[in-house]
Chain A
Amino acid sequence: MTRSGPAGKDPTLSAPANTAASSPGPELEALYRREVSFVWRTLRYLGVPGPEIEDAAHEVFVVVQRRWDDLDAGRDPRPWLAGIARNVAMHERRRRARVARKLDALGQAPPPSSGPTPEAHVAQGEALEILERFLDTLPDAQREAFVLVELQGLRGREVAELLDEKRNTIASRVRLARAALQAYLHTHADAEAPR
């Protein structure tokens, strides 16, 4: 998917004065201030661990700065940002998977954690942890669709375009993931019930 050129650009999103220079322009800063939370959450939901998020977000905005001309000012920048964040997160996931495989081969794999139940987590204000655990159980394709549509609020059409899939495919993945989340919460709540 390629974005169209900067036709009809919003003046607030004109190209930064110095995209190739060492410091970002005010337009990039405006975009950064507006969307850093969105990028941050996207990375987190797509599996970038907490300590790595700042580096990953930095990488995203470095790419944004370099590819500024690809940004169509007439459109919502979030799908574009989500696409970059998705690719950064994918790289990070693969890198960690490789490390995990190597550790596994060396017999040093960390034991799977069996934390508290979802209800206990929520009581401690750890909804995010539950959600991340659940997301880790999803296939990548489902996870991406669920994160971008359900958690990050992108439209199905935008996500379909971003992931180069049909809208029905995205809708199906989101529906399956949502059902899986319901089952996940139900299962873990049941596990706590006998206590």
Chain B
Amino acid sequence: MKIDELIAQAQREAEPSAEAVEALWSRLRAGPGPEPEPEPEPEPEPETPPAAPTDTAVRGPWIAAALVVLGLGGATAWWLRQRAPAPSPAPSTSATTAKPEPAPTLEPVEMQLVRGIESVDEAPPADRDAELDATKPERQTQRPSTPAPTDAPPPPPPSELELLQRARIALRDRDWSELDDLVQAHAQRFDPGMFATEFAAMRTMADCAQSTPERARTIGRAHLERAPGIFDARISELCGLDE
């Protein structure tokens, strides 16, 4: 089997379907997602009793019940006024009448708005987008679970020491991709920096781990000749110089 044939066929198979393209565009058009609305709550309840349920069979008993409650409330108020000068609880009657009414159903447009807000909630927060920006290879490992407020200040960039600590963890976990990122971030922000030797050694180790044995030995030897240091043993091991 030829590689080029395989690649050409895979390219065709990897194309998105027309439906997927349109669906994705619809999502984008519906809203960008990254800036959640500050008020994700739906419309507030109307103050007056809503008239949404128009079914007279449902409304009739409620009206009767409301009239009964109003009558009882009025009688109670009159009785209380006779006994004491305290204010009557008449205002509660309006609340009582409003209570049994079912919540108004949302109009289709409102439902769309709510759905849009829900999809916005799932979108990445602003902080994370900053990490995703291709122009910033340096990346945070933490991913906030809830969208950050739009006016929240971005987290401070890690110090050189923090980068080194994270790099050591990546080295310990053999997370070469993470280590690559951290080394690049260090080079961009601190080059040469206080820990240039350490980061150079880590870069060598990451390169060795991701290279063929022959190439790794070349990289390792070059590093040991150029900048021997406290990582020599690890470099020798990872680059296959012990063999």
Residues of B within 8 A of A (CB): 1, 3, 6-7, 9-11, 13-16, 20-21, 23-25, 27-35, 123-124, 128-129, 131-135, 137, 139, 143, 176-178, 180, 184, 187-188, 209-212, 215
Judged by DSSP, the binding face of A is helix
Per a CB cutoff under 8 Å, which of A23, A84, A95, A141 touches B31? A23
Q: For A60, give the chain B residue with the smallest CB separation.
A: B132
Per a CB cutoff under 8 Å, which of A3, A127, A142 touches B9? A127
Task: Write out the residue numbers on chain B whose beta carbons fall within 8 Å of the beta carbon of A118.
Answer: 1, 6
| Chain A 1-20 near chain B by CB (<8 Å), digits 1 or 0 | 11100000000000000001
Complex-state Cα separation, A23 to B27, whole angstroms: 10
Q: For B119, give the chain A residue with the smallest CB separation.
A: A58
Per a CB cutoff under 8 Å, which of A23, A88, A185 touches B132? A88
Determine if B1 and A20 form an interchain contact, defined as CB atoms under 8 angstroms apart. no
Asked if A32 meets B28 with Cβ closer than 8 Å, knowing A41-B14, A59-B124, A122-B1, the reply is yes
Task: Write out the residue numbers on chain B whose beta carbons fall within 8 Å of the beta carbon of A151.
Answer: 7, 10-11
Q: For B116, give the chain A residue with the smallest CB separation.
A: A22
Determine if A164 and B184 form an interchain contact, defined as CB atoms under 8 angstroms apart. yes
Determine if B14 and A45 form an interchain contact, defined as CB atoms under 8 angstroms apart. yes
A65-B28, A66-B32, A142-B210 given; name 5 further pairs at CB < 8 Å.
A22-B31, A57-B24, A139-B176, A140-B177, A176-B212
Complex-state Cα separation, A11 to B188, whole angstroms: 33
Determine if A29 and B31 form an interchain contact, defined as CB atoms under 8 angstroms apart. no
Determine if B132 and A63 form an interchain contact, defined as CB atoms under 8 angstroms apart. yes
Determine if A87 and B31 form an interchain contact, defined as CB atoms under 8 angstroms apart. no
Q: Is A54 an interface residue (CB 8 A)?
A: yes
Per a CB cutoff under 8 Å, which of A23, A119, A140, A176 touches B176? A140
Determine if A24 and B9 form an interchain contact, defined as CB atoms under 8 angstroms apart. no
Complex-state Cα separation, A141 to B30, whole angstroms: 36
Determine if B7 and A125 form an interchain contact, defined as CB atoms under 8 angstroms apart. no
Asked if A58 meets B21 with Cβ closer than 8 Å, knowing A22-B32, A140-B176, A141-B180, the reply is no
Complex-state Cα separation, A33 to B28, whole angstroms: 12
Determine if A29 and B134 form an interchain contact, defined as CB atoms under 8 angstroms apart. no
Task: Write out the residue numbers on chain B whose beta carbons fall within 8 Å of the beta carbon of A41.
Answer: 11, 14-15
Asked if A86 meets B6 with Cβ closer than 8 Å, knowing A29-B25, A54-B24, A141-B177, the reply is no
Determine if A24 and B32 form an interchain contact, defined as CB atoms under 8 angstroms apart. yes
